Chain A
Amino acid sequence: MWHATLRLLWDGVKANSGELLRDTLDMLVLKTLTRGAMHGYAIAEFIEETTEDVLRVEEGALYPALHRLELRGLVAAEWGMSENNRRARYYKLTAAGRKQLGAESARWDRVAAAVARIMEA
């Protein structure tokens, strides 16, 4: 059920409404970062593994999204060392980001519920 709805939305918005797609991606990134600071690759990996590759983001799209979130003050970034000792940019959630995530997920719940009601009608 959860996956079906997601896929539906995903496919639907991919076609034209970049806005919704972007907001959704932002929300997923923020949600992912609630687990702690991560670099871009780890975020992509996490989203793909958790959704069992249903949501396979074009990975590059993640970077404009991360920078956008940083500019909006929703995530903070700093350079650190990765697990294999390479320089990597780590992102973590800010207080504003946490608040934004709350608002986004509430909105998401409403949309999902609305769509679900139509599908079951």
Chain B
Amino acid sequence: MCAWRTNAWLRFKALIRRRAFDRDLEDEISFHLAMRERKQRSLGLGADAARYATHRRFGNVTLLKEDTREMRTFTLFETLCQDVCFAARTLRNSPAFLAVVVISLALGIGANSTIFSVLNAVLYRPLPYPQPDRLMAIWETESGRQNSAEPPAIADGADWRKQSHVFEDIALTSFTEDTPLAGEGRAEQARAQYVTPNFFHLLGVSPMFGRVFTASEAQDLTQTVVVSSPFWKRRFNGDPKVLGKTLKISGVLSTIVGVMPASFGSFFGDPLDLWVPIDADSARYSERKDHWLIAIGRLKPGAAQSQAQTEMNVIAHRLEQAWPATNKGVGAKVELFHDALYGGAGRYLYPLMGAVICVLLIACVNAANLLQARTETRRTEFAVRASLGACRRRLMRQLLVESGLLGLAGGALGVALTLGGIRIFRALAGDFPNADGVKVDVRVLLFTLAVSFATAILVGSAPAFQASRANLNLALREGERKTTAGKAGRRTRHILAVSEIALAMVLLVGAGLMINSVLRLQQVNPGFDPANVMNFEISLSEGAPYVERVPGGDIERATPLVAALYRQLLDKLAAVPGVESAGMITPFGFGYNFSVLGRPAPPPDKMPITGFREISPSLFGALKIPLEKGRYLNGFDVAGAPWSAVVNETFARRYFPHEDPIGRRLRLRFIDLDQKQPRQIVGVVGDVKLYLPERNPDPIVYVSYLQQDSDYRGGGILSHLAQTLMVRSAGSLASRAAGLTARVKKAVAELDPDQPVTRIMTMEQSLARSIGDAQFYARLLEIFAAIALLLAAIGIYGSMSYFVTERTHEIGIRVALGAQRGSILGMVTRLGLKLSLVGVAIGVALALGLTRVIAQFLFGVTATDPATFVEVGLGLLAIALVACYIPARRATRVDPMVALRHE
């Protein structure tokens, strides 16, 4: 080891002090020669004889110097430097070739690095907390469904914490939730995370200043909160005296006790304003029916996930026995927290990675094709070098160095493209998890470097191999070059062109399927008239003055103020000039159980389920939802009247297939709490899609906000507290949206100045947003497919051009013998068409196998949709034909005299 290091050091010294080394060696040898000569003379030889004898005894001085020098220096390195300089010079001499190859590779590499940086941000990079591999998510599995993974009941989570010995600690947390915020400044919708007090300590984070929650600090009317750094800067202008200030969060007076550093935010990097404490031991959760917080555990050092699973099984079993009513059959499942957060993202991202690998392969094939053609035109050069004594290894290395330079240049430009690509990705991605974490880091750079080298080897090896086998005699005889330029070489180029087309076909089919899906999504009939409708959301506080907590359980009671506010608001809106009608519907589509009166009651766990939407009767008119039977809800369906309901078509078909639902009475039930009064079905309306990708509409029961119980369990009150106002304007929204928004905000503020109005958008925007995922996917695939198409077109153009150049002589003879323009054109395009057809055919076969991976994102088309395949195939052929037409036309212009004179 030590000797090796000495060796390297000496060699390195010799490398950088090459002159000094040469002089030293010179000195050493001349010293020897001088000594020997003196000795010879002392033996009585004359001056000349002495010198002659000395040299004879010493041997070839130059050769020995060479030997010694070679041994001492990095010969390989030096010749490599020569190769690099030479390669750079040759490449500079053909800038067009250089540009096309480098840009092709950069597009391929850039696309790969972009998607890799996304994968890196969500799948490969460890979570930003100390020892993240010890963090586990703990789920409940439902009875009879071992594979399910549900958030535990809050009280179960608290019990896990008390009983577990494998975990250092277990915390409960929500994801980011919207909550109304007031006090000291304007009312707004804050983004809050509900956490147990040990949450911060468990993750290993500390506040920037102030403190985090110590023990249970959540009471019904007061609590402490910790705020995020962006919120502190935004709402308090970074005031250092923020501690002790109060906010009203969902009506609860909240004192700020700490500010977290900017580096700590929500799990997915979405904006987060504050953390609100949850007391998991509170009597409020004793019924074990609140499944809205997830559990995170930190394993003790050295403990394994399997140990934790074993222990959790025991604890779950214990809870089953202690709380049979809620926990029967309920198990527990331990999963790496990282997987819990991002495990699903791979499903979305790996198909994209596949697509960009496809793009890179096309780029490589393209570059290889160009390099191949170039190598063939350089055969004479290699032959000359070989005959002058360059060994084959050296020639091969020369070519590999060239492709290495091309790869590195492509990689460098690729990094620049990645920076742009990441911006495009973020712009398209919307609320993709951790989209802000997507950036170029060391890992991405290393990946890019590795890809560049792999590319270089892929691109350069075939030409290098061929060059090394160059037949000297053949190559040096200029005349033969034209005709025998190597059948093998031509075949290679054709195979490359075909594979480019095949790969492009795969990507184009993928993009085509996605575009078709988006088109179909845009054509989905939502079941109402979305034009000229504008949406506004209000979400009343889950506290005073709208909600009272009923002591000793998880029941929340809505005050009459809620319905009163809605009634006044709707009246105000209807009176706004330019408003045709205004309705509202809760954005929360909870699932309710129900029983039909007069039918035998099913056991509670077998009760049918339906969507439940609290609305204003005016909604049907505002959205123009068609009435199919009976009547709409109307102004007579008020609190004192018998409760009524309108169901949608799917509900009627599913639950009353052979009878008329009108007049039947339903008893609705949410989390084991029956509604006080039954509801009579008074009408059936058409199915409505507020979310376009919805495949099969759910059965829905619409009821009036005026006919509601005051008591709700398990968060069910949210569907009463949050409402989306849908206001139909009398004319086009384009010019009225701003005015309308101001009017609505004013109307809300007049009723409750602390009430924010959020999610303001037109119905058309809202529907467009619902197909955002499909559109995002389609956009990305479009970009990749466009690059692929461009590269493939360049590829086929290059192949055909080379074909024509190579055959100039032959074409010249044909023209001289009287061949028509058309037949020459035909000869070239026929070959192009043949190659394209083979490529498309192979591409179709590949695509049939590969598009299945995006089946989950498709809508209205199957992964093997014949129409898409045909359209894309024809399109690709057309573009390939255009790409061959240009060289083909050049072929028809060959002047036979010029072509033949060359002989």
* Cα of A72 to Cα of B1 in the assembled complex, Å: 10
* Further pairs besides A39-B31, A61-B59, A61-B64: 18, Cβ < 8 Å: A40-B28, A41-B31, A56-B57, A58-B58, A59-B57, A60-B29, A60-B58, A60-B59, A63-B28, A67-B68, A67-B71, A71-B7, A71-B11, A71-B71, A71-B72, A72-B7, A82-B35, A89-B31
B31 adjacent to A72 (CB under 8 Å): no
B36 within 8 A of A: yes
Q: Give the chain B neighbours of A87 by CB distance below 8 A.
A: 27, 31
* Cα of A64 to Cα of B64 in the assembled complex, Å: 7
A35 within 8 A of B: no
B60 within 8 A of A: yes
Q: Give the chain A neighbours of B673 by CB distance below 8 A.
A: none
A117 within 8 A of B: no
A9 within 8 A of B: no
Q: Give the chain A neighbours of B233 by CB distance below 8 A.
A: none
A73 touching B59 in the complex, CB below 8 Å, given contacts A41-B32, A63-B29, A64-B68: no
A82 touching B36 in the complex, CB below 8 Å, given contacts A68-B71, A73-B6: no
* Chain B proximity of A74: nearest CB distance (Å): 8
B28 adjacent to A82 (CB under 8 Å): no
Q: Mark B56-71, 1 if CB is under 8 A from A, else 0.
A: 0111110110011001
B24 within 8 A of A: yes
Q: Give the chain A neighbours of B72 by CB distance below 8 A.
A: 67, 71
Q: Give the chain B neighbours of A6 by CB distance below 8 A.
A: none
A64 adjacent to B67 (CB under 8 Å): yes
B10 adjacent to A71 (CB under 8 Å): yes
A106 within 8 A of B: no
A41 touching B68 in the complex, CB below 8 Å, given contacts A86-B31, A87-B31, A88-B28: no
B34 within 8 A of A: yes
Q: Give the chain A neighbours of B58 by CB distance below 8 A.
A: 58-60
B2 within 8 A of A: yes
In the complex, 17 of the A-B residue pairs with CB atoms within 8 angstroms, ordered by the A residue number, are: A39-B32, A58-B58, A59-B36, A59-B58, A59-B59, A60-B61, A63-B29, A64-B64, A67-B68, A70-B10, A71-B10, A71-B11, A72-B7, A73-B3, A74-B3, A82-B35, A88-B28
* Cα of A64 to Cα of B58 in the assembled complex, Å: 12
* Cα of A80 to Cα of B451 in the assembled complex, Å: 53
Q: Give the chain A neighbours of B71 by CB distance below 8 A.
A: 64, 67-68, 71
Among residues of B, the one whose C-beta sits closest to the C-beta of A86 is B31
* Cα of A96 to Cα of B5 in the assembled complex, Å: 14
Q: Give the chain A neighbours of B68 by CB distance below 8 A.
A: 63-64, 67
Q: Give the chain A neighbours of B32 by CB distance below 8 A.
A: 39-41, 44, 59, 63
* Cα of A110 to Cα of B775 in the assembled complex, Å: 81
Interface residues on B, range: 20 to 34
Instruction: Name the interface residues of A67-109: CB closer than 8 Å to any CB of B.
Output: 67-68, 70-74, 79, 82, 86-89, 96
* Cα of A88 to Cα of B29 in the assembled complex, Å: 9
A73 adjacent to B7 (CB under 8 Å): yes
Q: Give the chain A neighbours of B3 by CB distance below 8 A.
A: 72-74, 96
* Cα of A72 to Cα of B32 in the assembled complex, Å: 23
Q: Give the chain A neighbours of B60 by CB distance below 8 A.
A: 60
* Chain B proximity of A72: nearest CB distance (Å): 6
* Cα of A40 to Cα of B758 in the assembled complex, Å: 91
B28 adjacent to A58 (CB under 8 Å): no
* Cα of A96 to Cα of B6 in the assembled complex, Å: 12
Among residues of A, the one whose C-beta sits closest to the C-beta of B70 is A64
Instruction: Name the interface residues of B5-52: CB closer than 8 Å to any CB of A.
Output: 6-7, 10-11, 24-25, 27-29, 31-32, 34-36
* Chain A proximity of B386: nearest CB distance (Å): 27
* Cα of A88 to Cα of B63 in the assembled complex, Å: 21
Among residues of B, the one whose C-beta sits closest to the C-beta of A59 is B58
Q: Give the chain B neighbours of A70 by CB distance below 8 A.
A: 10
A58 adjacent to B59 (CB under 8 Å): yes
* Cα of A89 to Cα of B11 in the assembled complex, Å: 18
* Cα of A63 to Cα of B28 in the assembled complex, Å: 9
* Cα of A58 to Cα of B36 in the assembled complex, Å: 13
Q: Give the chain B neighbours of A63 by CB distance below 8 A.
A: 25, 28-29, 32, 64, 68
Partner of B64, one of A60, A88, A89: A60
* Chain A proximity of B500: nearest CB distance (Å): 50
Q: Mark A34-67, 1 if CB is under 8 A from B, else 0.
A: 0000011100100000000000101111011001
Among residues of A, the one whose C-beta sits closest to the C-beta of B29 is A63
Among residues of A, the one whose C-beta sits closest to the C-beta of B5 is A73
* Cα of A88 to Cα of B6 in the assembled complex, Å: 22
* Cα of A96 to Cα of B68 in the assembled complex, Å: 22
* Cα of A55 to Cα of B28 in the assembled complex, Å: 22
* Cα of A89 to Cα of B21 in the assembled complex, Å: 12
Among residues of A, the one whose C-beta sits closest to the C-beta of B55 is A60
* Chain B proximity of A23: nearest CB distance (Å): 16
Q: Give the chain A neighbours of B57 by CB distance below 8 A.
A: 56, 58-59
Most buried by B among A41, A44, A82, A86: A41
B59 adjacent to A86 (CB under 8 Å): no
Q: Give the chain A neighbours of B64 by CB distance below 8 A.
A: 60-61, 63-64
* Cα of A79 to Cα of B36 in the assembled complex, Å: 19
* Chain B proximity of A56: nearest CB distance (Å): 8
Q: Give the chain A neighbours of B25 by CB distance below 8 A.
A: 63
Q: Give the chain B neighbours of A56 by CB distance below 8 A.
A: 57
Q: Give the chain B neighbours of A58 by CB distance below 8 A.
A: 57-59
